[in-house]
Amino acid sequence: KAQQLLIDRKAIGMTPAIRELINNTDNEATKIHGLWTLEGLNQIKFSDVSAVLKSDKGSSLLKAHAITLLSSIPKELGVTNLWSTFQNLASNTDLAPYIAFQLHLIQDPGLQDQLIAQIVNEHPESIEIAHGIISNFFSKEKDLKVRLSQLNLPNNAAILDELDALLIRVENAEKPSKEKTLIRKYARGVNVFRSTCQPCHGENGEGIEFLAPPLNKSEWVTGEKDLLIAIVLFGMTGPVHVNGHLYETPEVSGEMPGILNNPDLVESDLALLLSYIRKNWDNNASEVTLEDIIKVKQNFKNRKKPFTEEELHQIKEKLKEI
């Protein structure tokens, strides 16, 4: 009641007395209430918390409260030297989860990784610690996966499975939202895709056996825009490598007709179509503009036949020289 009363009355003038009480009492409950009173008055300092964390005295409960309070300390008041403090406490099974949730307070990625490695190696099966570490990387989970792969973590580390499961959930949640956004943005291009491309390449862009290779993760789709435009306009013939796999007959038809002479297809719709497939599924390449289409048509205005993979590679090399 005293804690709430002081906070409600905004009794900032009591700060020195509260701080003195915290420093001089041996009663842990009093210390905890005192620290949270300072926090409620916006008077908590890093020195108040670090004194508790660095002390040889004090229970895990007291130190857990102190670690939690770190989030309430304004950055300008100097949350410093936490790495060594956390390192000394990380072996404690009760405190490690609290440290895991506060990893974001350590600004140096290298020191952060060292602490992650220490915590995970000492508590490999802890789900709570895994969730704590992952919580520091909201919207950056893929970056965390790369960083974890560079650490010497045990194969049974819970964080590896928890992170993989989260990435799958994120990916599955993003796909419908991404698809809806693309359909709204490239509506006319989507219509062209469904009528012209989908019958051979599939709705999911993964290709259809005996017909055509994938568009999803295809370097021909996400690579040089000029090459993709040329392929769609004039067609492609013969074997083709897509994402490391050689597609040739009978696995695919070996012939993709161009749509240059399709009287129903306007250039602006073609730009929308190609932008759609460059951004759909797992692809995330730049848009194709109407100007891009016009430029390629002009560059190959005398072209009549479809391209081979070899020809396209030669064109790609020439583009590098420009």
Are 225 and 292 within 8 A, CB to CB?
A: yes
Note the Cα 110 to chain centre separation in Å.
19
Could you identify the residue written with the tokens 């693309």?
182
What contacts 193, CB < 8 A, 6 or more positions away? 273, 276, 277
| pLDDT tens, position by position, 64-123 | 999 999 988 866 545 567 888 999 999 999 999 999 999 999 988 999 999 999 999 999
At residue 79, the pLDDT reads 56
Phi, psi of 39 (to 5 degrees): -65, -45
Residue 9 pLDDT > 90: no
CA 85/CA 184 separation, integer angstroms:
52
Are 223 and 288 within 8 A, CB to CB?
A: no
Distances from the Cα of 186 to the Cα of 130, 191, 259, 274, angstroms? 40, 9, 19, 9
CA 135/CA 127 separation, integer angstroms:
12
Q: Confidence band (pLDDT; 50, 70, 90) for 268?
A: very high
Residue 209 pLDDT > 70: yes
Compute the average pLDDT of residues 216-245.
95
Q: Confidence band (pLDDT; 50, 70, 90) for 1?
A: low
DSSP labels for 309-321?
Answer: HHHHHHHHHHHHH
Could you identify the residue written with the tokens 């490690």?
96
At residue 164, the pLDDT reads 95
Global pTM reads: 0.61
Could you identify the residue written with the tokens 């010497």?
152
